Every structure is written in structure tokens, then in C-alpha cells.
């Protein structure tokens, strides 16, 4: 029962993360300044998505690759730097750094051999 609940919530979080990413794109297009709302939505969307993805993987396989936690930490660092430096950093730089983190995670995920569960092996 708990696994089914986690499975349902995981997808909701992943969709919510995608929506926040869309909002961040709109904010970056319409605002030239790097204000806290731009920074928080830019890194917040992928963080929400990663939280859902981690929950999904944990409920499905019981294990999550360390790369997802490293990516989440990197996004928190990007967000913290964006908030601290504020207007000194263009909003595009925050966006590019966020895309770089998520792209690196995608590449690492593709290059890492997937472990098969005992029920799907053979």
C-alpha cells in the first residue's frame, strides 16, 4: 500500500516539477533581472522533479543512484549562489547552470549500467 501511494505521489511531483520549469522559462523571458523568484523557479522545478524521481525509483526498486543526490545538491548550490549574488549574475547563467546539471545527470544515467531486478532477469 505504501509503495502504491509513493508511486502516485512521485508522478505528481514530477509533473509539478515540469510545470515549475515552464514557469521559470516564462520568468526568464519576461524579466531581465535575476530576482529571487527567477532563481527559485529555475532550480526549484528540477529539484521538485528529482524529488519525485527519487521517490519513484525508491518505491519501484528500493535503491536510488547517488548521482541523483549529487545533482540535487548541485542544484541547491546553483540556487544559493544565484540568491547570494543576485543581480550580479544574469538569469541566463542560472538557467544554463541548471541545464548543465540536469544534462550531466541524464548522461551519467545513460552510461551507468542498469541493474536488473530478480523478477525481470532471465
Question: Alpha helices of 62-122 — where are they, by DSSP H?
Answer: 66-85, 91-111
Tell me the pLDDT tens digit for each residue of 53-107: 998 888 877 788 899 999 999 999 999 999 999 888 888 899 999 999 999 999 9
Q: For the chain, which residues make up each domain, given as ranges?
A: 1-86
Helix 66-85 × helix 91-111 angle, to 10°: 170
Given a contact cutoff of 8 angstroms between Cβ atoms, the answer to whether 16 and 48 are in contact is: yes
pTM of the full predicted structure? 0.83
Given a contact cutoff of 8 angstroms between Cβ atoms, the answer to whether 50 and 68 are in contact is: yes
Comparing C-alpha atoms, which of 110, 98, 74 is closest to residue 20?
Answer: 98
Reduce the DSSP state of residue 115 to 3 states and report it. Answer: coil
Amino acid at each position: 500500500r505504501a509503495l502504491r501511494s509513493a508511486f502516485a505521489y512521485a508522478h505528481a511531483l514530477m509533473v509539478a516539477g515540469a510545470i515549475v520549469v515552464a514557469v521559470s522559462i516564462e520568468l526568464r523571458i519576461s524579466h531581465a533581472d535575476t530576482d529571487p523568484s527567477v532563481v527559485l523557479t529555475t532550480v526549484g522545478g528540477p529539484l521538485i522533479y528529482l524529488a519525485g524521481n527519487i521517490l519513484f525509483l525508491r518505491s519501484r526498486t528500493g535503491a536510488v543512484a547517488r548521482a541523483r543526490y549529487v545533482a540535487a545538491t548541485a542544484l541547491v548550490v546553483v540556487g544559493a549562489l544565484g540568491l547570494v549574488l543576485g543581480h550580479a549574475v544574469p538569469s541566463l547563467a542560472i538557467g544554463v547552470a541548471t541545464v548543465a546539471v540536469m544534462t550531466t545527470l541524464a548522461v551519467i544515467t545513460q552510461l551507468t549500467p542498469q541493474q536488473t531486478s530478480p523478477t525481470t532477469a532471465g
